[in-house]
């Protein structure tokens, strides 16, 4: 049912992994567009359930991003020095987080009204809603030298994944489904495994999954379980929203439903995305994934803050079934085009700079 426990050759490109990262980049855009209506409507509104389905169905994206990073960076067959991780990967993510946070906050205050540089700086240090991902990456990069030691021994890796699954995913699920129970209180006492540890779990899980390829039968079972988990997440989330108001307890990244769903999405791409997808366009989309993730919130801000684009917001609320995927695709295409333009411009700047020097 499971593969022999062997990491793949890092020199060979995994096309299906490129596909899953590309799909995830688009799914994040859908999540953020769907959340506009999800936040604006009441659960009793006709379109709220439709909006929440889009919101929940795309929540595999960020866990899969972490899993893909773990699959690549924790592979002990890949040559990756501690010095390179700590002097290139980590500072690059931290600087990018600060620069994008500052740019976004300046743009936000330009759209909604300038309140001074102090407000911008404080907001930038706090970080806009989407920038948390980069800071989690900074933490994961800081832990990577240690986690690579863990991943060298597959038994140790399996133990770490199971431990985190129980105390991180299990704890969050217990808090959501049986809040205040003895089990939830007991698991909350394990303060070592506090909020945010789901990033480490998915990071290690990606390494474990890449070293233990599922058989076709087991992959199909995990895909089916993922579909069932998604259905249960939608149902529980809707029931809880009607009773207590909109919340994300049942669909958080550290909830069991989303974890199982993310594994199903991972296996779906691994099973059905073959080498026929390989090509220059796919490689470009993978390379531009981070740009798409960081750029599309600026487009969403324009939609929400500039009156010219408010008809799009109204459409998202009035007809979410068709509006959410269409608007999401529009923003994704604009983001891809902007990434292409940026890459071409940066290439030309480097050529001119090299000639001058």
Q: pLDDT band for 191, please (50, 70, 90 cuts).
A: low
Question: Whole-angstrom Cα distance, residue 59 to residue 65?
Answer: 11
Q: pLDDT band for 182, please (50, 70, 90 cuts).
A: confident
**Number of C-beta neighbours around residue 143 at 10 A:** 16
Task: Indicate the range of 77-86, 97-106, 245-254, 326-335 predicted with least confidence.
Answer: 245-254
Q: Does 7 map to a domain?
A: no
pLDDT at residue 210, as a whole number = 95
| Residue reference for tokens 């030298």 | 145
pLDDT in tens, 217-251: 999 999 999 999 999 999 999 999 998 888 877 78
Q: Does 3 map to a domain?
A: no
Q: pLDDT band for 269, please (50, 70, 90 cuts).
A: very high
Task: Indicate the range of 48-62, 80-94, 257-271, 342-356 predicted with least confidence.
Answer: 342-356
Closest CA relative to residue 206, chosen from 248, 257, 265, 283: 265
pLDDT in tens, 107-117: 999 999 998 89
pLDDT at residue 220, as a whole number = 96
User: What percent of the chain shows pLDDT beyond 90?
Assistant: 71
Domain holding 311, by residue range, is 15-356
Q: Does 140 map to a domain?
A: yes
* Sign of torsion over alpha carbons 169, 173, 179, 185: negative
Residues 6+ apart with CB under 8 A from 148: 73, 74, 76, 80
Half-sphere exposure of 141 (CA within 13 A, CB side): 20
pLDDT at residue 246, as a whole number = 85
Above 60 in pLDDT, residue 3? Answer: yes
What token pair was written down for 208?
Answer: 């474990």
Above 90 in pLDDT, residue 170? Answer: no
pLDDT in tens, 68-91: 999 999 999 999 999 999 999 999
Q: Does 226 map to a domain?
A: yes
Q: Does 216 map to a domain?
A: yes
Q: What is the mean pLDDT of residues 291-307?
A: 95
Q: Does 4 map to a domain?
A: no
Write b or e for each residue in 78-108: b if 16 or more Cβ atoms lie within 10 A of its Cβ, otherwise e: eebeeeebeeebbeebbebbbebbeebbbbb
What token pair was written down for 311?
Answer: 């008809």
Task: Indicate the range of 55-59, 171-175, 190-194 predicted with least confidence.
Answer: 190-194
CB of 113 closer than 8 Å to CB of 136: no
Above 60 in pLDDT, residue 183? Answer: yes
Q: How many domains does the chain have?
A: 1
Which has the higher per-residue pLDDT, 274 or 218?
A: 218
Write down the mean pLDDT value for the chain. Answer: 91
Q: Does 349 map to a domain?
A: yes
Q: Does 1 map to a domain?
A: no
């Amino acid at each position: 049912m499971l593969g022999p426990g062997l990491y793949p050759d890092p020199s060979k490109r995994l096309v299906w992994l490129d596909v899953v990262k590309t799909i995830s980049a688009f799914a994040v855009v859908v999540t953020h567009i769907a959340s506009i209506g999800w936040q604006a409507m009441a659960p009793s509104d006709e379109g709220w359930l439709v909006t929440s389905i889009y919101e929940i169905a795309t929540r595999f994206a960020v866990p899969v991003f972490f899993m893909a990073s773990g699959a690549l960076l924790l592979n002990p067959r890949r040559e990756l020095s501690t010095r390179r991780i700590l002097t290139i990967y980590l500072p690059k993510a931290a600087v990018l987080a600060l620069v994008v946070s500052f740019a976004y906050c300046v743009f936000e205050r330009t759209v909604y009204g300038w309140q001074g540089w102090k407000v911008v700086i404080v907001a930038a240090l706090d970080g806009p809603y989407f920038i948390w991902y980069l800071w989690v990456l900074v933490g994961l990069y800081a832990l990577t030298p240690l986690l690579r030691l863990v991943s060298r021994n597959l038994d140790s890796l399996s133990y770490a994944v199971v431990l985190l699954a129980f105390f991180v995913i299990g704890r969050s699920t217990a808090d959501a489904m049986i809040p205040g129970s003895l089990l939830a209180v007991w698991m909350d006492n394990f303060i070592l495994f506090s909020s945010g540890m789901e990033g480490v779990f998915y990071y290690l899980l990606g390494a474990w999954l890449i070293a233990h390829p599922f058989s076709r039968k087991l992959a199909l079972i995990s895909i089916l379980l993922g579909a069932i988990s998604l259905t249960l997440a939608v149902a529980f989330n809707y029931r809880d929203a009607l009773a207590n108001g909109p919340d994300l307890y049942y669909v958080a990244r550290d909830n069991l439903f989303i974890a199982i769903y993310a594994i199903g999405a991972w296996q779906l791409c691994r099973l059905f995305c073959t080498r026929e997808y390989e090509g220059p366009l796919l490689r470009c989309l993978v390379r531009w994934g981070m740009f798409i993730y960081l750029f599309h919130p600026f487009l969403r801000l324009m939609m929400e803050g500039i009156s010219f684009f408010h008809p799009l917001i109204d459409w998202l609320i009035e007809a979410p079934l068709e509006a959410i995927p269409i608007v999401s695709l529009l923003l994704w295409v604009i983001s891809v085009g902007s990434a292409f333009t940026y890459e071409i411009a940066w290439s030309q700047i480097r050529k001119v700079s090299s000639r001058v020097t």
